[in-house]
Amino acid sequence: MSGPAASHVLDDPFGFARAAGQQHGQLAVSALSRLQDQLAGNAGEVKYSVHGSMDPLSRPQLELKVTGALQLACAVCVKPLEYALALQTRVLMAQPGAVPPDDDDPETPEWIEVGQELNLQELVEDEILLGLPLSVRHAQGHCSSGTQEPFGAKKADSPFARLATLLEPGKTDKR
């Protein structure tokens, strides 16, 4: 491959793991197309590093670290919120069509099918999508809408608060 995309491809991922290879790179957030609908803005970049190795059972694996900042939408005010991205994961590699062993151990890394090439941009984007929180919000009192009620919900007296006043002697409701 030629051009800038060539630096984001491992030509022989199994050889890379056997040789304990290392590769580092940067990706523009705007180049991560599947991530775009999760973002409030696509400025900036993410940095990644990939280290190949063999696990204790002599299986090829990759350790991936991804850092950067993403602009996500606050779940309360829907304004942009900077989210610090710091992911670290390990994946075991299997040949296409190979059946990875069943392992219910939560400490065992996930398996991915890898051919003669591995597109690191797709791997990085997959891990970012898997690592994003379902919902983010500004710190208490920092939403630009001035409210902490989700999606414009109006703050109203709770009907249970009125019932509680009936149960407490000496308190009267002045409505």
The first and second tokens of residue 41, run together, are 């803005």
In the chain, the amino acid numbered 65 is: K
User: What is this structure's pTM?
Assistant: 0.74
Q: Could you tell me the residue ranges of all domains in the chain?
A: 4-145
Spatial neighbors of 59 by CB under 8 A, at least 6 apart, are 92, 93
Residue 116 is classified by DSSP as S
* pLDDT bucket at 144, cuts 50 / 70 / 90: low
Helix residue spans in 19-119 (DSSP H): none
Q: How confident is the model at residue 162 (pLDDT cuts 50, 70, 90)?
A: confident
- pLDDT band at residue 152 under the 50/70/90 scheme: very low
Confidence of residue 138 (pLDDT cuts 50, 70, 90): confident
Report the distance separating Cα 57 and Cα 147, nearest Å: 54
